[in-house]
A and B are shown apart, each in its own frame.
Chain A
Amino acid sequence: MNAPAYNFAYLDEQTKRMIRRAILKAIAVPGYQVPFASREMPMPYGWGTGGVQVTAAILGRDDVLKVIDQGSDDTTNAISIRKFFAKTAGVATTTSTADATVIQTRHRIPEASLHAGQVLVYQVPIPEPLRFLEPRETETRRMHALGEYGLMHVKLYEDIARFGHIATSYAYPVKVNARYVMDPSPTPKFDNPKMDNCAALQLFGAGREKRIYAIPPYTSVVSLDFEDHPFNRYRHDAPCALCGANDSYLDEIVTDDKGSRMFVCSDTDFCETRQAQGHRGSESAAPHEEMVHG
């Protein structure tokens, strides 16, 4: 039998070269989706194969890897991907945003500001921001080529006509470097401003859809909006019940079957770091040394 023997970080060198070339093009043309010959990975399509391939192509022995899903290091898929790289590449892993050199994420951007030495790798399910307006790749490719994004504005405007607001709360489209309209992956729109002029390199991998795209550091990323309906962030109007933060994105926790609920930071590292610094919320184990209100 052909007993499997795998390379450092799982991917073979030829595959890494192909992905690396795609990453370079993606950086050179910010926001443009570079087609790449995505491989079948040992985890299902839709479960982070694009992010995993990008991470595998950039990861070196000295890197420190953090993997989050929904902002948390301890969700099952984040654990699974972190273990995969610890096993196949033997790299150090961390849950600390500040200590990581490579952060792979699904659905969140860490609350702490990223610094220049870091790379943020996003897992992307549907890279095409125009996909739900126009399912055909041949058509959307033409629209990107011409910079013809009227359809997107029409969609957002129809939302306003129907609901009084832009009814897009996550995967909120952005314009990168004043040229390409880009899907930020299904991050909440709360996270959109963090992409703008970010010190870290942001790489996006869509495995099933075979696309890689990028935002270089210090690049303009503008959320699409209208003068009379400017973009605004959304978060629950509550402090975190654990650390008291009033500027972080919150998860809603249903605590019983009678409608009780509480809100805690979705970014677990951010929340734990704050608690370690002595910040307290209403549900903390320790006495409320501090309640922060904004």
Chain B
Amino acid sequence: MYVAVKGGERAIENAHRLLAHERRGDRDVPELSLDQISEQLSLGVDRVMTEGSLYDRELAALAIKQARGDLIEAIFLVRAFRATLPRFGATEPVDTGKMQVRRRISSTFKDIPGGQILGPTFDYTHRLLDPQLAEGGAPELPAQSEAPSATILRVIDILGRDGLIESSPPADDDKPVGDLTREALSFPADRDLRLQNLARADEGFLLALGYSSQRGYGRNHPFAGEIRLGEVEVEFMAEDVGFAVPLGSITLTECQMVTQFKGSAAQAPCFTRGYGLAFGQSERKTMSMALVDRTLRARELGEEVLAPAQDEEFVMSHSDNVQATGFVEHLKLPHYVDFQSELGLLRKLRKEFTEAAEAPAPLQEAAE
């Protein structure tokens, strides 16, 4: 006698109960607080906010805790929450030129107005595991100096003044900035949608694509014009009030790549731009994003599309780790039915193959 398996509902409940238990780990070890995650795993929080497309440190920390530190799972949690939020409108464009800078470096000029500011960086640390950190204890307090009184000029604007780099396209009030979360993507996609896609894109995917472009798959001769990290004001134009209302400040990382020049009979040669922007301190992300933004401008700049990093349909269709992880992992779901269908066909083909092989040769030819 055969009885079909039942009781899936209880199995699911038990699985989730076990998951919650394992998430907590050894109950003798103190539980993580959201503050601890937000303060001490802050770059993970920054990545979840960036790719989750929601600036909320506390929710991102909660998501990381709930996801047991699996950042893609945490990004997914944040995205699913974000999808249900009402939209009131778009903020005014943030002005990174007015950023309260905590870190700012350029690889294009030795000395620049405002100076090179290393800020909090892993750069030049020797990657030696630190046993002292294992024991805990308070690190040294940071060195202090006067905060810069004026805003720090963007390096790219120094080049822009002399016309050495293409100017940023001016905003067009009649053409609202696209939003791929509100309308289905169609190709070719304009740069606003491409940048939005890249901002939400998986860091590892962009890192690999950016790297591939440096190795010749869509070479774009980049220089890190400037990378800056700091706080910017966010303002919202409230129609009832008639002016922009400040909402607060957020931490951003911006990377402007200076890339290979273009020119024509009608236009003097100048450098081109690649742009990266992310929430929090997300330097690897913004640098990769800037490289891929530039490679994806191939069509616009009249370059031949030869490499994956230049192919907007390929890049934009596969950059989202929530989509990618869902579809890869859906292979865990039952596929009994289509597998049976495939199995049946395969058995039939094999049977025919064997029969044909066993048949006398001339007959086989006659059947062709």
A266–B339 alpha-carbon span in the complex (Å):
12
A11 to B83, CA, bound (A): 9
Q: Tell whether A12 pairs with B86 under 8 Å between CB atoms, given A208-B323, A236-B344, A251-B336.
A: yes
A45 and B322 contact, Cβ closer than 8 Å, known pairs A75-B334, A165-B349: yes
Jot down 11 A-B pairs with beta carbons below 8 A, ordered by A. Answer: A12-B86, A14-B87, A35-B184, A40-B80, A46-B328, A46-B330, A69-B333, A74-B4, A167-B345, A170-B337, A188-B340
CB pair A44–B187 under 8 Å, yes or no, is no
B-side interface residues toward A, CB under 8 Å?
A: 1-9, 11-12, 56, 58-59, 62, 76, 79-87, 181-188, 313, 317, 322-323, 325-330, 333-338, 340-345, 348-349, 352
Asked if A80 CB lies within 8 Å of chain B CBs, one says yes
B345–A169 contact, CB under 8 A? yes
Q: How far in angstroms is the closest Cβ of chain B from A231? A: 13
**What sequence of 0s and 1s flags, for each residue 22-64 of chain A, a beta carbon within 8 Å of any chain B beta carbon?**
0000000000000111111110111101000000000000000
Known: A77-B334, A165-B348, A167-B349. A252 touches B343 (CB 8 A): yes
Q: How far is the CB of A69 from chain B (nearest CB, A)?
A: 6
In angstroms, Cα B9 to Cα A80, docked, is 8
Checking A36, A44, A76, A107 against B335 with a beta-carbon cut-off of 8 angstroms, the contacting residue is A107
**Known A2-B59, A76-B8: A283·B2 in contact at CB below 8 Å:** yes
Is A171 in the interface zone, CB < 8 Å from B? yes
User: Would you call the interface of chain B mostly helix, strand, loop, or mixed?
Assistant: helix
Q: Chain A contact residues: over half helix, strand or loop, or mixed?
A: loop
**Inter-chain contact A40/B83, CB cutoff 8 Å:** yes
A2-B56 in contact (CB<8A): yes
- Using A2-B56, A46-B328 as known contacts, list a sample of 20 further A-B pairs with CB atoms less than 8 Å apart, ordered by residue number in A: A2-B59, A11-B84, A15-B83, A35-B186, A37-B184, A44-B76, A47-B326, A70-B336, A76-B334, A79-B12, A137-B313, A138-B313, A164-B349, A170-B338, A186-B337, A187-B338, A188-B337, A241-B2, A250-B340, A266-B336
Q: Chain A residue with minimal CB distance to B58?
A: A1
Partner of B326, one of A12, A44, A210: A44
Contact partner, A252, options B81, B182, B328, B340, Cβ 8 Å? B340
* In the assembled complex, A234 has its CB within 8 A of some CB on chain B: yes
A83: CB under 8 A from chain B? yes
Of B1, B85, B337, which is within 8 A of A284 by CB?
Answer: B1
Residue of A nearest to B333 (CB): A77
Asked if residues A83 and B56 are in contact (CB atoms below 8 Å), the reply is no
| Chain B residues with CB under 8 A of A180 | none
B334: nearest chain-A partner, CB-CB = A70
Residue ID in chain A nearest B180 by CB atoms = A37
Q: In the complex the two chains form, is A234's CB within 8 Å of B341's CB?
A: yes
